[in-house]
Amino acid sequence: MFDQQQPGSGPLAGLMVADFTRVLAGPYATMMLGDLGATVIKVESPLGDDTRTWKPPSLKDQSTYFLSINRNKRSVLLDLKNSDDCLRAQRLAKIADVFVENFMPGTLDRYGLDYEQVARDNPSIVYGSVTGFGSGKGQELPGYDLVVQAVSGLMSITGPKDGPPYKSGVAIVDVVTSLHLTVAVLAALDYRDRTGSGQHVSVNLLGSALSAMVNQSTSFLATGVSPSRMGNAHPSLFPYEPLKTKNGYLVVAIGNDAQFKRLCETLNAPHLAEDSRFRTNEKRVQNRVLLKPLIEQLLAGDSAANWSKILTRSKIPCGPINSIAEGVSLAQDLGLDPIVRLTDADGTVVPSISSPLSFSKTPPTYRHAPPRQDADGDEIRDWLDSLGKD
């Protein structure tokens, strides 16, 4: 086995993942599988993963977008329109434990790589598909995160009340879809372990977006009224948003009446917690326009940084609005080890955010820096050719 020099040691060690995905929703999921010990073979077309060209920013000549979601993988270039490469891809699918793809529905049929044809030779395969809008009426619609943020309604609830709709600062629908896909693959692997039978699992961006809007989606289903933009305000909690202090904003997140009482006591305003207009969360939401300036007037006496320390000592959920640099620094200060650094074949040190998963016995491992295109191509093609001789 070509990968045995650096095998994984996590809970998925020994599993082979054929990764036919690109951009974000698929690659992030396969990276998580790789972090957990699986051997991930990233199959790229001659054009390569789209995100290799998404720059700036870049680390030397490599897109940081690509680097963020492709560690713990080996790269091989296979042109499915070439008969030899197509045969190699089919051989990989035949021996893989997991096959993941995010092509337009029907594309892989012509290459013998759709689920039905793969499962015919490999009935225990867990075959995962990512689409934008499913494989029915929406199968021809291109699945881009920004488009789905728009059409799902997510942008309609993101942004200032009286301003334009905003997208999220990251491709959040792709990320959530990746998590859904990973859960589905792991569940199917468990089912296979118990029954010996593989299956086809699929996720789509629109369905993931609707699911990820949780309370907002259910609000519409229950009332028939679509939620609207509220800026940083929460539709069901108050105070639960950034509040002005002497020199900036402090996020205060009050989730129950006991926390609100402690907030008022810490601000030397216990009477607010006893005021009939603010005594319960429902009343505070109804009267937020009255309560917000009263709290901000109390916060105006000190800085966001000092209030954060004071309120935290009173076990009140709060925090300053950090930059990403400050967020990473906070994680380091808390001992969360947020950064992993891997050195690629060219000697470039590639930093990335470590897996947030923690295991007491089988922790994630970091074995391979994100690969250059076809970095392992000769080795993998020779290995796949050898399988044809068996």
Output the domain CATH number for residue 261.
3.30.1540.10
- Residue with tokens 């499913």, as numbered in its chain: 134
| Residue 218 counted as domain residue | no
Is the residue at 11 inside a domain?
no
Omega before residue 239 within 30° of 0, cis: yes
Question: How does pLDDT run across 120-134, given as a tens digit for each residue?
Answer: 999 999 999 999 999
> 141 and 250 share a domain?
no
- Domain identity same for 182 and 314: no
Domain check: are 55 and 187 in the same one? yes
Domain with 206, as residue range(s), is 16-213+340-387
Mean pLDDT, the chain, integer: 95
Residue 76's CATH number? 3.40.50.10540
Q: Tell me the per-residue pLDDT of 309-327, one tens digit each, with 9 for 90 and over.
A: 999 999 999 999 999 999 9
Count the neighbouring beta carbons within 10 Å of the beta carbon of residue 55. Answer: 14
pLDDT digits (tens, 9 = 90+) for 78-131: 999 999 999 999 999 999 999 999 999 999 999 999 999 999 999 999 999 999
* Residue 229 forms part of a structural domain: no
- Domain boundary pick from 331, 360, 375: 331
Examine residue 5 and state whether it is found in any structural domain, yes or no.
no
- Give me the helices (H) in 97-252, please: 115-121, 145-151, 172-195, 205-212, 214-223
pLDDT of residue 388: 81
pLDDT band with cut points at 50, 70 and 90 for residue 390: low
**DSSP secondary structure letters along 14-75:** T-EEEEE--TTHHHHHHHHHHHTT-EEEEEE-TT--GGGG--SSEETTEEHHHHTT--SEEE
Q: Phi/psi class of residue 142: alpha, beta or left (left: φ > 0; alpha: ψ in -120 to 50)?
A: beta
Q: Give the chain's radius of gyration (CA, Å).
A: 25
User: Which residue has 């607010």 as its token pair?
Assistant: 272
Rounded Cα distance between 18 and 122, Å, is: 13
pLDDT, tens only, 191-209:
999 999 999 999 999 999 9
71 vs 108: CA distance, rounded Å: 25
> 354 is written with which tokens?
């470590």
**Same structural domain for residues 187 and 305?**
no
- Decide if pLDDT at 5 tops 60: no
User: How far apart, in whole angstroms, are the C-alpha atoms of residue 89 and residue 77?
Assistant: 10
Question: Two tokens at 309?
Answer: 């320390």
Does residue 1 form part of some domain?
no
* φ and ψ of 149, to 5 deg: -55, -35
Distance CA 8, CA 14 (A): 7
At 258, list the tokens: 């006991």
Residue 346 included in any domain: yes
What is the reported pLDDT for 1?
A: 59
pLDDT digits (tens, 9 = 90+) for 238-289: 999 999 999 999 999 999 999 999 999 999 999 999 999 999 999 999 999 9
My answer on whether 348 and 293 are in the same domain is: no
Is position 364 within any domain?
A: yes
Mean pLDDT value of segment 17-23: 97
Shared-domain flag, residues 167 and 53 = yes
Average pLDDT of the residues in 21-46: 97
Catalytic site includes residue 174: yes
Question: Are the beta carbons of 26 and 69 closer than 8 angstroms?
Answer: no
Overall pTM surpassing 0.85 (yes/no): yes
**Is residue 207 domain-shared with residue 165, that is, in the same domain?**
yes
Judge whether residue 76 has pLDDT over 70: yes
> In this predicted model, what pLDDT tens digit does every residue of 327-343 receive, in sequence order?
999 999 999 999 999 99
Element (H, E) at 131: strand 126-131
Residue 4 has pLDDT above 90, yes or no: no
Asked which of 331, 349, 369 is the last residue of a domain, the reply is: 331
Q: Is residue 306 helix, strand or coil? A: helix
**Residue 2: which pLDDT band, with cuts at 50, 70 and 90?**
low
Predicted pLDDT at 6: 61
Which residue in the list 19, 35, 97, 174 is annotated as catalytic? 174
Same domain, 244 and 344: no
- Distance between CA atoms of 337 and 20, rounded to whole angstroms? 31
Measured distance CA(91)–CA(177) in Å, rounded: 28
Q: Do 65 and 108 fall into the same domain?
A: yes
In this structure, how many other beta carbons lie within 10 angstroms of the beta carbon of residue 269?
15
pLDDT at 338: 97
Q: How many domains does the chain have?
A: 2
266 and 326 share a domain? yes
Task: Identify whether residues 188 and 61 lie together within a single domain.
Answer: yes
* Buried residues in 376-387 as b, exposed as e (16+ CB within 10 A): bbeebbebbeee
Q: Are residues 324 and 353 in the same domain?
A: no
Question: Of the candidates 284, 305, 331, which is a domain's last residue?
Answer: 331
Question: Looking at residue 142, what is its pLDDT?
Answer: 86
pLDDT in tens, 48-65: 999 999 999 999 999 999
Q: What's the confidence (pLDDT) of residue 389?
A: 76
Backbone angles phi, psi at 219, to 5 degrees: -55, -45
